[in-house]
Amino acid sequence: MGRRFIVGGNWKMNGDKKSIEEILGFLRQGPLDESVEIIVGVPAIYLDYVNQKLPGNVVAAAQNCYKVPKGAFTGEISPAMILDIGVKWVIIGHSERRNVFGETDELIAEKCAHALESGLSIIACIGEKLEEREAGRTTDVVFAQTKAIADKITDWSRVVLAYEPVWAIGTGKTATPQQAQEVHQQLRSWLSTNVSPQVAEQTRIMYGGSVTGANCKELAQEADIDGFLVGGASLKPEFVNIVNARVC
Ligand code: PEP
């Protein structure tokens, strides 16, 4: 069975009541390719509201969660809380969580494991920094990040990987289709050797990093790019074109 194309929007810490109505407006208007799975990562404070207002073919995701169900962890939200409001997805290990908030591979892996055990589906983000790429360490870094997660989980059926080179996030510098495809193919091969050929074949790997309406079609042609995680452009009507990258 083929891997279903998946496009996620990551609103990050953007949006207010007014601009969220505008985003909901273009999502409702579409048209959105029905064969694509569409997810939007919403700031926690708006998650319940947006979840109730999204059109039926778009689902909401939390942008982060903690590694335990409840307790004295001021400011955090748990997978149990996310599920309690009817949201079924969470983004974990985004580069901003790793690099701005100091989240380690170990913590991200624990969050992934707990989110999956709780019943959420996860978008687990990995990706190398510019200096790591320039030092020829791209695969070392993304394999280590993936291994940390793989060591703590057993069921891959609700896992989507997002390969997001840090140098391409929010910079306007997109990886070329060949650069992205090369890493996606290497990741799939790593999964095949270190997890199982079946998991490698079935696990979707999104690309993220300055994806726009203008560059999405070429990237979407690559065999191992199964979708996109989109930051800045997910706040704009061109997100619809990105969702439709494989059809028009
Ligand atoms: C992201 O936030 O995951 C991202 C890829 O951002 P941008 O599309 O703005 O580069």
Domain boundaries, the chain: 64-233
Q: Of these residues, 37, 110, 164, 238, which one is catalytic? A: 164
pLDDT for residue 119? 98
Return d(Cα 3, Cα 184) in angstroms, integer.
Answer: 14
- Structure-token pair, residue 224: 């191992």
In the chain, the N- to C-terminal Cα span, in Å, equals: 23
Amino acid, single-letter form, for residue 132: E
- Structure-token pair, residue 93: 């290990």
Q: Of these residues, 94, 96, 114, 238, which one is catalytic? A: 94
* Per-run averaged pLDDT (10 residues), the chain, 248 residues: 94 97 98 97 98 97 98 98 98 97 98 98 98 97 98 97 96 94 98 98 98 97 98 98 91
Q: Is 114 a catalytic residue?
A: no
Closest residue to atom 4 of ligand 1, CA basis: 231
Residue 208 alpha carbon, nearest atom of ligand 1: 5
Using the structure block, give the residue that is written with the tokens 């996109």: 228
Q: Which residues pair with 160 in a beta bridge?
A: 123, 204
Q: Is 94 a catalytic residue?
A: yes
Pocket-testing residue among 95, 174, 229, ligand 1, by greatest number of atoms within 8 A of Cβ: 229
Closest residue to atom 3 of ligand 1, CA basis: 231
Kindly give the distance from the C-alpha atom of residue 71 to the centroid of ligand 1, in angstroms, as a whole number.
Answer: 31
Determine the topology of domain 64-233 in CATH. TIM Barrel (3.20.20)
Return d(Cα 63, Cα 42) in angstroms, integer.
Answer: 6
- Full-model pTM: 0.97
pLDDT for residue 248? 60
**Antiparallel, parallel or unpaired: β 121-126 and 89-92:** parallel
pLDDT for residue 22? 97
Collapse the DSSP code of 207 into the 3-class scheme (helix H, G, I; strand E, B; otherwise coil) and give the result: strand
- Structure-token pair, residue 5: 């194309």
Which residues, including other chains, have CB under 8 Å from residue 84's CB and lie 6 or more apart? none
Using the structure block, give the residue that is written with the tokens 């083929």: 2
pLDDT in tens, 153-187: 999 999 999 999 999 999 999 999 999 999 999 99
Kindly give the distance from the C-alpha atom of residue 72 to the centroid of ligand 1, in angstroms, as a whole number.
Answer: 31
Question: Residues near ligand 1 with C-beta < 6 Å?
Answer: 10, 12, 164, 169-170, 208-211, 229-233
pLDDT for residue 1? 61
